[in-house]
Amino acid sequence: MTKDASQDAISAVLDDVAATLACLDGDDAAAISDLANRLALLTGEIEAPAQREMVARAGKKLRKVADGTAKVPSESLAAARRLVAAATGCPALEGEVSGTVEAEVDDAGAWEPNPGSATEPESFDGAPNSSTSSEAPSVSTTGDTAVVETPADALDNDPELVHEFVSEAHEYLTAAERALLVLEATPDDRPAIDTVFRAFHTVKGVAAVLGFSQIAELAHRAESLLIPVREGKARFGTGYANLALRAVDMIRSLVERAGVMAQGVPLSIPGGYAPLMAALDAPVGPDEAPTPGARVDPNEHEPVEKAPAPADAPPGAASTAETWVRVRTDRLDQLMDIVGELVIAQAMLSSDGLLASEHGRELSRKVALAGKTVRELHDLSLALRMVPLRGTFQKMARVVRDTARRVGRHVEFTTDGEETEIDRKLVDALADPLVHMVRNAVDHGIEPADDRVASGKPAGGTVRMRAYHAGGNVMVELSDDGRGLDKDKLVARAIEKGLVEPGATLSEQEAFQLIFEPGFSTAKTVTDVSGRGVGMDVVRRAIESLSGRVDIASTPGRGTTFMVRIPLTLAITDGMLVRVGAERYIVPTANIRITLRPDASSLKTVSGRGELVVLRGEAIPMFRLGRVFGVPGAVDDPTQGLVVIVGEEHSCSALLVDDLLGKQQVVTKSLGGFIGRVPGVSGGAILGDGRVGLIVDPDALIALARQAA
């Protein structure tokens, strides 16, 4: 669409809005709200500063009338009519707008001048004029951060609107970041270019409506940067990618600050804002291609504080907007807590002795029906907390890209299973350890290009991330095709660090686990990426805090695979309640394959120590739960007890228990800081009779039993 055609379309919309406004009164809140939404969308399409500001102010006036927050609705409605009428007659600003000052009615009915409308024009290439003289908030500087005196327009914003802006901006920025990484690999990907433009354009428009001028200006310049690429006049290369990704990071940081500002905190501008704005005005070599093997200066730009990665969802199109509702996460957490208490209450009711009496049959039927409803409610509330790992995987793609440039590697990042869902709280907690693992894979795992070629490998390395469900757990695998782990070198380094006694004999897995020890590092020099010996230690502690574990498989010269296993959720567990002596334990049903009472012919003993139970011709190691936990009074003869087969198809073990008490849904509770972490136990739960049962972690329990054997 040409510039004239675009202006004609804008004028047509404004004419329609003006005509509708003329027929409305202040009581039709729905119609006024609809007009406010139309003007908000239109603001993002208008390039002329004066016209854009008039439309934005009119939309804000209408929004206040629709929400019932206008002090004098009739005056605000009249002011909106005048602003729309003025914007309808506003020229396309092909020339200069000089000295335009609108008089506007405020909510109290007094006339006040609008000093922000005297603005220099934009140039037609989309770049802002360097001589722009719009209303500028005062700025005070503290260290590397500038504290901006918040404009009155921004202070007047409804906190709910700001919260919605922050949420939507994160989604658009996430989509833009993903598209920029695609563009760096395939510069001619037109849909990716359009995605980036749409993101910057939308954030710019909404930020302008809400009065966040710094965000709007930065988004505008970032949008303008890519105009030559969109028009086919330049090829998207490393220079464009670096600047655009820096802009995404800076906008994300500013958006996060805008959300805090809604709580009364002044808007602060990161120290890298001004240099980035200058770089966007005069980009250096945006069409340069990456130089093979080039070392990138890690200090080439100032870091920007990253905002937390949001649960990723594509910006909703108009056709699907009605199917999405935004819900605050604290309300979801509150819902889950209430459902958890309901599950406990249901368990207590189901175990009431009255139900087993002759007069309790009808009541028992009703309790069973209520239990079915509680279970359905639990499943639904659990599904509400589930989010895909797509956003986390995208964040890792950015980490791979930036780390590879810093250490001078060529690395391709591939993913599988991005749609695997996991509890939202686990997604947030999983991101940091994955960042450490990815940086480790790129820096330590992938060899320099010359070394790879000399060993018969491609010059570029590959890092692959894969996620999938395994029983009641989520598996996240991170693999690389690099140098792999050398057991002898790891042991020698551990001896040098004093972590292992000289002459000690370690298995391959024990040697691999050394990399998780505090202070252990195989890096010869300390850099800003690695070498301090703290990253992998953080990984293990973080994963274990989620009741998970990390396993390693590696072949020297071929690569390494890290396998992270974490539970699907930490909230509610479906478990089998078992008795051992006088104690009761809960075994997650997702880990159970089968239960049986063994006969004497199926029981075997190896070397007088290890016990086996033979099931369908397969010898399965058996461990006595009572012996592992030291429970007195547990069944000694396996034929008098029951065996619970747990694990996966090719890695099963048997747990000997006294009896099965039934299947039960329980709310997982932490054991607390006083008790701390108990080997083989993932948490506790309140049972139907009010007693506490320990939730067994089968994998950790079996590992504990093997160590004790």
What DSSP line would sit under 44-98, residue for residue? TT---HHHHHHHHHHHHHHHHHHHT--SSHHHHHHHHHHHHHHHHT----SS---
- DSSP-derived 3-state class of residue 619: strand
pLDDT of residue 124: 28
Q: From CA 614, how far away is CA 574, in angstroms rounded?
A: 27
The band of 33, judged by pLDDT with boundaries at 50, 70 and 90, is confident
Note the CATH architecture for domain 572-708: Beta Barrel (2.40)
Q: Is the pLDDT of residue 662 over 80?
A: yes
Tokens of 149: 């005196």
SS3 content of the chain, % helix, strand, coil (to 5): 50, 20, 35
Say whether pLDDT at 582 is over 70. yes
Span between the terminal Cα atoms of the chain, in Å = 76
Q: Is 286 helix (H, G, I), strand (E, B) or coil?
A: coil
What is the pLDDT confidence band of residue 36, given thresholds at 50, 70 and 90? confident
pLDDT in tens, 115-125: 333 333 333 23
Architecture, CATH, for domain 128-289: Up-down Bundle (1.20)
| Pairwise CA distance, residues 139 & 273, whole Å | 13
Confidence grade of residue 265 (pLDDT, cut at 50, 70, 90): low
| Residue 75: closest CA among 89, 90, 62, 87 | 62
Q: Is pLDDT larger for residue 389 or for residue 105?
A: 389
**Chain centroid to CA 518:** 27
Residue 145's pLDDT is what?
53
**pLDDT of 268 above 60:** yes
**pLDDT given for residue 466 in this prediction:** 93
- Which tens digit of pLDDT belongs to each residue from 354-393? 777 777 778 888 888 888 888 888 888 878 888 888 888 8
pLDDT at 107 over 60: no
In this predicted structure, the answer to whether residue 673 has a pLDDT above a threshold of 70 is no
pTM above 0.85, yes or no: no
Tell me which residue of 9, 696, 691 sits closest to 348, measured CA to CA.
691
Q: What is the predicted pLDDT for the residue at 47? A: 77
pLDDT at 156: 55
Q: Three-class SS of residue 476?
A: strand
Classify domain 387-567 at the CATH topology level: Heat Shock Protein 90 (3.30.565)
Please write the tens of the pLDDT for every residue from 396-437: 888 898 888 888 888 999 999 988 888 887 887 888 888 888
Size of the chain, expressed as the number of residues it contains: 709
pLDDT digits (tens, 9 = 90+) for 167-177: 888 888 988 88
- The mean pLDDT of the chain is 75
Look at 142 and 409; give whichever has higher pLDDT. 409
Q: Quote the DSSP letter at residue 669.
A: B
Is residue 141 within 8 Å of residue 156, measured between CB atoms? Answer: no
**Interatomic CA distance for residues 338 and 378, integer angstroms:** 10
Q: Which residues contact 447 (CB under 8 A, 6 or more apart)?
A: 455, 457, 461, 482, 483
Amino acid found at 127: A
